[in-house]
A and B are shown apart, each in its own frame.
Chain A
Amino acid sequence: MTKKEIFINSAFKENAIWSQILGICSALAVTNLMMNSLVMGLGVIFTLALSSSTISLIRDLIPKRVRMMVQTLIIASYVIIVDLILKAYMPQMSKALGPYIGLIITNCIIMGRAEAFAGKNPPLDSMIDGIGAGVGYTVVLMVIATIRELFGFGSLFGIQILGEWFTRWSIMVMAPSAFFVLAVLIWIIHGPIAAKVGK
């Protein structure tokens, strides 16, 4: 596979959310605001790129039996580094995201890519695969967040779009709505779109 194919494969064909149904917990939790989703997505892309390439770099040294422990250790370290950098240089953002950053550790996509790709492929390919998976995740998050923020708050990226006449749908602000939006999204992709692309 070429680098481009690796990227397209992990970002879209094997998209973590709609095709593997991984990382759903965070997709439900952070998507009521677009800004939160974007920063969460960037955090995941950064962590994925670093953890996938690191794991790939030492893949021949990792004893098979303890590989999960090693993966968790590496992922957790990078997440803490992201957290420290945000705290030191982007305190406002760090405050807004608070507990979400720590949640990146438990994002199954990262360990999923480590297991499925980084453990078997060279570092650069793994990094591209990680970035691809992160981008795929971020795209889905942004789509859900756009719908939820627009109907829940009447705004996009915090900028009011819909006027006073608009009655906010409180359900969109709460987590259950993400289930509905995500389900409809997965249905559209697996139904009409897959039929067109000819999956």
Chain B
Amino acid sequence: MAEAKSLRERRFYPVLFMIIITVIFVGLLATFYQLTRERVETHRQMVFKTTILQLFELPTDDLQSTYDAYIQEKMLDGRLYYAAMDGDSLIGYCLPISGSGLWSTIHAMVAVSPQLDRIRKIEILEQNETPGLGGRITEEWFTGQFAGKMLVQSGTAVLFELIAEDEPAGPMQINQITGATASSKAVVDMLYKEMSGFQQTLIQGAAQ
């Protein structure tokens, strides 16, 4: 009688099957992840360094040596930022910023003048906004609007005002993306929050 039930008719069989197949496929994924990890990481570093150099309009043909010559990585209050130096003179600062977008966290890089009062350029590194709508925050016409804008107005950080896509923008205004108000606002908000925080810590750091 004990032999009557085969393994596949047993009640625990589905559970056992699920466990085995999960282990197999998770193992497969882990292997693939390990195999590609180094390549993905190297590539990510390259993109990161290229972005920093581009933000300061430096040549990117000889990536590593240009990066080493011009860029200094610095820490302040536990956050990493980058200073671009041409010999002894400071070209500007560059720091990674992030904030919550509509669907996930947006990561960006912003380069500012040595006095921290003017934006040189911004670049969106990672985002998962709605493709075709919020996803357009990475487009040049949107990020390009921030270039050259003042960050500080009479001692306080500037929160840019969003206006419709086709209206002419003033010095403290940004054209938002039609159909993607939340994503446009997320970029402006994170810039304000992160930059005012950075200005304060840097000023405090300088005073000490």
Q: Restricting to A25-81, which residues have a CB under 8 Å from any CB of B?
A: 29-30, 32, 58, 61-63, 65-66, 69-70, 73-74, 77, 80-81
Q: For residue B179, which residue of chain A has the nearest CB?
A: A174
Contact status A88-B131, CB under 8 Å? no
Please name all residues of chain A whose beta carbon is closer than 8 Å to the beta carbon of B14 when the two chains form the complex: 63, 65-66
Q: Which of B27-35, B62-70, B111-119, B181-189 contacts A (4 or more CB under 8 A)?
A: B27-35
Q: Restricting to B17-56, which residues have a CB under 8 Å from any CB of A?
A: 17-18, 21-22, 25, 28-29, 32-33, 36, 39-40, 43, 47
CB distance from A158 to the nearest CB of B (A): 14
Q: For residue B178, which residue of chain A has the nearest CB?
A: A170
Contact status A91-B43, CB under 8 Å? yes
Please name all residues of chain A whose beta carbon is closer than 8 Å to the beta carbon of B47 when the two chains form the complex: 91
Contact status A87-B18, CB under 8 Å? no
For the complex, what is the distance from the CA of A148 to the CA of B131, rounded to whole Å?
16
For the complex, what is the distance from the CA of A81 to the CA of B27, rounded to whole Å?
12
A127 interfacial by beta-carbon distance below 8 Å: no
Contact status A84-B32, CB under 8 Å? yes
Contact status B39-A29, CB under 8 Å? no
Q: Restricting to B56-93, which residues have a CB under 8 Å from any CB of A?
A: none
A171 interfacial by beta-carbon distance below 8 Å: no
Which residue in B22, B43, B135 is a CB contact (below 8 Å) of A88?
B43
Please name all residues of chain B whose beta carbon is closer than 8 Å to the beta carbon of A166 when the two chains form the complex: none
Please name all residues of chain A whose beta carbon is closer than 8 Å to the beta carbon of B43 when the two chains form the complex: 87-88, 91
Which residue in A29, A70, A88 is a CB contact (below 8 Å) of B36?
A88
Contact status A62-B17, CB under 8 Å? yes
A12 interfacial by beta-carbon distance below 8 Å: no
Contact status B17-A173, CB under 8 Å? no
B128 interfacial by beta-carbon distance below 8 Å: yes
Please name all residues of chain B whose beta carbon is closer than 8 Å to the beta carbon of A87 when the two chains form the complex: 36, 40, 43
B205 interfacial by beta-carbon distance below 8 Å: no
Q: For residue B16, which residue of chain A has the nearest CB?
A: A63
For the complex, what is the distance from the CA of A175 to the CA of B29, rounded to whole Å?
33
Given that A63-B13, A74-B25, A77-B28 are known contacts, is A100 also in contact with B131, CB under 8 Å in the complex?
A: yes
For the complex, what is the distance from the CA of A70 to the CA of B20, rounded to whole Å?
11
For the complex, what is the distance from the CA of A84 to the CA of B18, rounded to whole Å?
24
Please name all residues of chain A whose beta carbon is closer than 8 Å to the beta carbon of B179 when the two chains form the complex: 174
Contact status B32-A63, CB under 8 Å? no
Contact status B17-A66, CB under 8 Å? yes
A89 interfacial by beta-carbon distance below 8 Å: yes
Please name all residues of chain B whose beta carbon is closer than 8 Å to the beta carbon of A81 when the two chains form the complex: 28-29, 32
CB distance from A119 to the nearest CB of B (A): 15
Contact status A70-B21, CB under 8 Å? yes
Please name all residues of chain A whose beta carbon is closer than 8 Å to the beta carbon of B39 when the two chains form the complex: 88-89
B168 interfacial by beta-carbon distance below 8 Å: no
CB distance from B51 to the nearest CB of A (A): 12
> In the complex, given contacts A87-B43, A91-B47, what are 8 additional A-B residue pairs having Cβ atoms less than 8 angstroms apart?
A65-B14, A66-B18, A74-B25, A80-B32, A81-B28, A85-B36, A99-B128, A99-B131
Supply 15 A–B pairs (Cβ within 8 Å), ascending by A.
A32-B132, A63-B8, A63-B14, A66-B17, A70-B17, A74-B21, A74-B25, A80-B29, A81-B32, A87-B43, A88-B39, A88-B40, A88-B43, A98-B135, A174-B179
